[in-house]
Amino acid sequence: MAVSVAASASACVTELYAEAFEAAGALDKLEGFASFYGADFYRLPRNPGSVTLQRQSWTVPERYPFGQADLKPLRAGEALGAAVLMAFLVPTLGYALLKNRVSRFDAAAVAASYGSVSAVTFVAGTQYLKGIGVDFGGHMMVALVIMESPAIIMAVLLASAARHATAQQAGNGPRVSAAGVPPLGKILHESFTDGAHLLLLGSLAIGFMSGSAGEAMMKPFSGDLFKGMLAFFLLDMGLMVARNFQQARKAPLVLIGYASLGPVAHASIALGLAWLLGLGLGDTVMLMILSASASYIVVPAVLRYAIPEANPALYFGLSLGITFPINILIGIPLYTFMAKQVLG
């Protein structure tokens, strides 16, 4: 099929048109739409140049150079959809694995914590990638925020499933009541208005509205000064890990194994999904880091209301005492190595 070169000047616009026309069953009309009708309407000569479209797999580049800046093409990467999928997939798999090995309420709470993300691990990952010269899309910050909420929803659903299963096991005994457990609306309100989550959402809104001028203004704070602040924060987190490690040591062996090996398994699933979607190296590594991390701030706070039957020492101690240091010390370099081996 011949298509005017002029129509393909914008990045991947012809491919998107071809996809839309094919979905409408009118692929034979694409050539006229892209090459002939405009010129004929304005009584201009048709462009003699042409390109030939071929049906084959192709990954849209993450960015194109444009002067001193980079442009991000439409639909490049599709990382956000993958992030949402992982946010639902990880807690579902975790609960299926743990529900018959520990209390169903503890299984639901642990699964929800690991379905969410750690902002500190994310920031450490961004600094590591910048240090080795690997670029990633700014939309991964959005992925950090949106992966929090599905875990909250999954916590509510898994807790409901746990209570239903407990009631079924009780047989003719008294039904398990959800009395004392706040309604879904209150739990979701708690998750979105929690201080840390609200701060992330607010910072995204401010960054979007201020644009490049705001970024330049905040550069002294978000550049070298930020690295020093991050170092002090990680030292403080290390002290918190040490204080909570005793709680993690008392956990059942299966939970310790899940906290140790689960991050690698989750990162591997994310790597496979990124490979299927054709994500770039930087976005892939960040998706792996997010999928491998576990929440110890927002989600544990919500779990107090969503699953009061669960033991906080387990889901908080495991995520902070085991998974967090593993990701910081060896996980981030390991995930980067795995992505490089698979993506080349």
Non-local CB neighbours of 116 within 8 Å, separated by 6+ positions: 87, 147, 148, 151, 152, 294, 295, 298, 299
| Residue 98 confidence (pLDDT) | 93
Mean per-residue pLDDT over the chain, rounded? 76
Stretch among 49-53, 70-74, 233-237, 262-266 having the lowest mean pLDDT: 70-74
Contact of 245 with 317, CB cutoff 8 Å: yes
Question: For residue 260, what pLDDT band results from cuts at 50, 70 and 90?
Answer: very high
Could you report the per-residue pLDDT of 236-250, keeping only the tens digit for each? Answer: 656 665 665 666 677
Residue 25 banded pLDDT, cuts 50, 70, 90: confident
Render 93-138 in DSSP notation, one character per residue: HHHHHHTTTS-HHHHHHHHHHHHS--HHHHHHHHHHHHHTT----T
Which structure tokens are listed for 80? 């956000």
Confidence of residue 36 (pLDDT cuts 50, 70, 90): confident
CA distance 184 to 223: 40
CA-closest candidate to residue 159, choices 188, 186, 181, 180: 181
User: Tell me: the pLDDT tens digits for 182-204?
Assistant: 555 655 565 556 555 566 556 65
Give residue 1's pLDDT: 41
Three-state DSSP class for residue 69: strand
Running DSSP on this structure, what letter comes out for residue 7?
G
303: pLDDT confidence band, cut at 50, 70 and 90? Answer: confident
- In the block, tokens 């639902």 appear at 88
pLDDT in tens, 276-285: 988 889 999 9
Residues 327-336: what's their mean pLDDT?
Answer: 95
On whether the CB atoms of residues 114 and 94 are closer than 8 A, the answer is: yes
Q: Which of 317, 312, 319, 323 is nearest to 103 (CA)?
A: 312
* Mean pLDDT value across residues 323-335: 94
- For residue 173, the model assigns a pLDDT of 45
Taking CA atoms, 18 is separated from 15, 271, 277, in Å, by 5, 29, 19
For the segment 221-233, the average pLDDT, to the nearest whole number, is 65
Going from N- to C-terminal start, the domains of the chain cover 2-52, 75-343
Q: What is the pLDDT of residue 73?
A: 56
**Among 206-210, 228-232, 256-260, 321-325, whose mean pLDDT is lowest?**
228-232
Does the structure show a pLDDT above 70 at 218?
yes
Q: State residue 296's pLDDT score.
A: 80
The region of weakest confidence among 10-19, 85-94, 118-127 is 10-19
Where residue 8 falls among pLDDT bands split at 50, 70, 90? very low
Over residues 289-316, mean pLDDT: 81
What is the per-residue pLDDT for 193? 60
Does domain 75-343 fall under CATH 3.20.20.80? My reply is no
* Residue 63: predicted pLDDT: 59
**How far is C-alpha 134 from the chain's CA centre?**
18
pLDDT higher than 80, residue 255: yes
Q: Which of 140-149, 150-159, 221-230, 316-325 has the lowest mean pLDDT?
A: 221-230
Q: What is the mean pLDDT of residues 126-143?
A: 87
Predicted local distance difference test score (pLDDT) of residue 223:
63
Q: Specify the higher pLDDT residue, 221 or 263.
A: 263
